[in-house]
Amino acid sequence: MEEGEQQVRRQIQTPATMERDGEQAVDEGEAAAPSGSTSRSTKHTSRIAIQKVTEVIAALSDYKRFLVEEIGFEGVLRIPMIQKINLKFSKFLMTKVDVKEHCIILRDGGTPITFYPEDFHKVFGIPCGQRDIHGKDVDITSEAIEFIRNSIGWTEKSDRSLSSLEVFIGKEINELSSRLEKDSFKMAFVVFVMGSLFAPCTKHDHSTIYYWGAIKDAENISLFNWCKYSFNFLLEAVCKLKLETDANITPNHLSGCHLFFQVFLLDNVELGMMNLKQTTMPRLQLFDGETLKRMILVCSARKLGRTIFIAPEPRHWNAMCYTWHNWMNEKHGKKKAMEHKAEGSANQYALVSHNPETARRGEYTNADTSNLA
């Protein structure tokens, strides 16, 4: 067995292991099976805890909401209630992703639906700044890491608990609080939403510190490209799922913020009356649990006693708000402008015209020099 496959197998956690860690698994009746799937497993798992996020958001005071807006994460404040995510639909979409081309291809020969980090911003409304989270200006010292840990309530070295951050975020903060207290709240909030939704760790109730260089100065949090970081984290999860599949290992655990694929896909395919107008940002605020469930149902069918997912046609690009549609609009506009210019040029420089008075004699005159005839 190759070393890469062995490593994948060591990383796999079974649904039973996930449940012992406290993870909620989705039953067969709660999530449809992916098209063409040969898996007989009835449970899928994910570390996304969007219900926890919405509960924490609901408890925020107006001033705390103001602090969240200051760091550019105001889109998180508009996340609707989603109690359950259809993990099998997420798995189906992840298997249809072309990581290299950044697109979803629902069927062989189908139209690629391309996605970009900017689309992550359109869906979730988190910062898509100019600074790279993995750039040179995010180097962080061990002393700074220790300072952040103490500031957000992780006093124990082994503590990376998201649940402890919930408690910390719930502490009283108001206009009279110190700058350190306000900055600590901002840092804790980012770590919580990244670990619970946008870049969830594979370990239960756990968060990483890989992006802490971008939160060491709370005033600069909004300047970093959190969309690109989450986007790349999700693509890594897709690569892992595909590697497991290639190694004949049934991938039951889904990493990354795969909810992005659901909202993006459902917003980009033709679902008739179920399609939503694309005038509201961020897009996720329109996709509550019931709306997602109904739209996924339109993309589902029964075959041989099992639920499969079908591939609707992409929506027409001129009515869309996403990056690839904007590019198509721009391309179409340039094409029309060139056609109009070419047509005008042809009319302007045409030298010969047909004279109906002399048509019977087969005579033609020069349009610009007829007075000289």
Could you tell me which residue, 37 or 359, shows the higher pLDDT? 359
pLDDT mean over 306-335: 71
What pLDDT score does 159 carry?
A: 76
Per-residue pLDDT band for 11 (boundaries 50, 70, 90) equals very low
For the ranges 158-172, 236-250, 310-324, which has the lowest average pLDDT? 310-324
Per-residue pLDDT band for 48 (boundaries 50, 70, 90) equals very high
What pLDDT score does 340 carry?
A: 53
Q: How many CB atoms lie within 10 A of CB 84?
A: 15
The answer to whether the CB of 205 falls within 8 A of the CB of 22 is yes
d(CA 318, CA 62): 38
Per-residue pLDDT band for 330 (boundaries 50, 70, 90) equals low
d(CA 71, CA 183): 10
The dihedral sign for the CA sequence 31, 35, 39, 44? negative
pLDDT tens per residue, range 187-200: 999 999 999 999 99
Which DSSP string do the residues of 85-125 spell out, in sequence order?
--HHHHHHHHHTEETTTTEE--STTPPPEE--HHHHHHHH-
346 CB-side CA count, 13 A = 6
What pLDDT score does 362 carry?
A: 47
User: Cα–Cα–Cα angle for 324, 325, 328, nearest 5°?
Assistant: 90
What pLDDT score does 136 carry?
A: 83
Could you tell me which residue, 337 or 77, shows the higher pLDDT? 77
d(CA 334, CA 328): 10
What pLDDT score does 162 carry?
A: 94
How much is the pTM? 0.78
What pLDDT score does 58 carry?
A: 97
Could you tell me which residue, 367 or 116, shows the higher pLDDT? 116
Per-residue pLDDT band for 305 (boundaries 50, 70, 90) equals confident
Q: Which amino acid is at 32?
A: A
What pLDDT score does 364 carry?
A: 40
Examine the pLDDT at 45 and tell me if it is beyond 80: yes
pLDDT tens per residue, range 248-286: 988 889 999 999 999 999 999 999 999 999 999 999 999
pLDDT tens per residue, range 117-171: 999 999 999 999 999 999 888 899 999 999 999 999 998 766 789 999 999 999 9
Q: Which amino acid is at 226?
A: W
pLDDT tens per residue, range 167-216: 999 999 999 999 999 999 999 999 999 999 999 988 888 888 999 999 99
What are the sequence ranges of the domains in the chain?
18-311, 325-372
What pLDDT score does 307 carry?
A: 87
Cis check for the bond before 312: say yes or no (omega within 30 of 0). no
What pLDDT score does 369 carry?
A: 41
Examine the pLDDT at 337 and tell me if it is beyond 70: no
pLDDT mean over 18-43: 39
What pLDDT score does 324 carry?
A: 59
Examine the pLDDT at 316 and tell me if it is beyond 90: no
For the ranges 82-86, 212-216, 346-350, which has the lowest average pLDDT? 346-350
The answer to whether the CB of 83 falls within 8 A of the CB of 192 is no
Return the biggest CA–CA distance within the chain.
103
Tell me which DSSP letter residue 26 carries. B
**To the nearest whole number, what is the mean pLDDT of the chain?**
82
Give 62: exposed, middle or buried? Use CB within 10 Å, 0-12, 13-18, 19+. exposed
> What are the φ/ψ torsions at residue 46 (nearest 5 degrees)?
-160, 150
